Amino acid sequence: MRVSHILNLGMKELRSLARDPMLLILIVYSFTLAIYTAATAMPETLNKAPVAIVDEDRSPLSARIIGAFYPPSFISPVLITPAEMDARMDAGLDTFALDIPPNFQQDVLAGRRPTIQLNVDATRMSQAFTGSGYIQQIVSGEVNGFVQRYRAAQTLPVDLALRARFNPELNKGWFGAVIQVINQVTMLSIILTGAALIREREHGTIEHLLVMPVTPFEIMTGKVWSMALVVLTACAFSLTFVVQGLLAVPIEGSVALFLAGAALNLFATTSLGIFLGTIARSMPQFGMLLILVMVPLQMLSGGTTPRESMPDLVQTLMLAAPTTHFVTLAQAILYRGAGLDVVWPQFAALAVIAVILFSLSLARFRKSISDMT
Write down the pLDDT at residue 270: 94
Model confidence over 238-289: pLDDT tens digits? Answer: 999 999 989 888 888 899 999 999 999 999 999 999 999 888 888 888 989 9
**Cα distance between residue 186 and residue 265, in whole Å:** 8
Question: Containing domain of residue 209, as a range?
Answer: 3-42+170-372
Does one domain contain both 78 and 188? no
For residue 364, how far is the Cα from the chain centroid? 32
Percent of the chain's residues with pLDDT above 90: 41
Does one domain contain both 190 and 226? yes
**Cα distance between residue 73 and residue 330, in whole Å:** 32
Does one domain contain both 175 and 252? yes
In sequence order, which residues have a C-beta less than 8 Å from that of residue 215 and are 6 or more positions away? 1, 5
In residues, how long is the chain? Answer: 373
Q: Of residues 199 and 363, which shows the higher confidence score?
A: 363
DSSP 313-326: HHHHHGGGSHHHHH
Does one domain contain both 277 and 128? no
Q: Of residues 208 and 261, which shows the higher confidence score?
A: 261
How many independent structural domains does the chain possess? 2
Q: Provide the β-strand partners of residue 119.
A: 97
Q: Which amino acid is at 223?
A: K
Q: Give me the torsion for CA of 330, 335, 340, 344, rounded to 10°.
A: -40
Give domain status of residue 165, yes or no. no
Per the CB < 8 A criterion, the answer to whether 66 and 79 are in contact is yes
**Cα distance between residue 205 and residue 12, in whole Å:** 12
Does one domain contain both 114 and 184? no
**Cα distance between residue 29 and residue 349, in whole Å:** 30
Of the ranges 31-40, 80-89, 215-224, 299-308, which one carries the lowest mean pLDDT score? 299-308
Tell me the CB-side half-sphere exposure of residue 322, using CA atoms within 13 A: 32
Give domain status of residue 96, yes or no. yes
- Give the angle 25-29-31 at the CA atoms, nearest 5°: 125
CATH of the domain at 105: 3.40.1710.10
Write down the pLDDT at residue 255: 92
Per the CB < 8 A criterion, the answer to whether 35 and 174 are in contact is no
Q: Of residues 206 and 215, which shows the higher confidence score?
A: 215
Instruction: Tell me which residue of 228, 151, 218 sits closest to 191, measured CA to CA.
Output: 228
What band does 237 get if pLDDT is binned at 50, 70 and 90? very high
What band does 43 get if pLDDT is binned at 50, 70 and 90? low
Model confidence over 132-154: pLDDT tens digits? Answer: 888 988 998 888 888 877 545 55
Is-above-0.75 flag for pTM?
yes
Write down the pLDDT at residue 1: 59
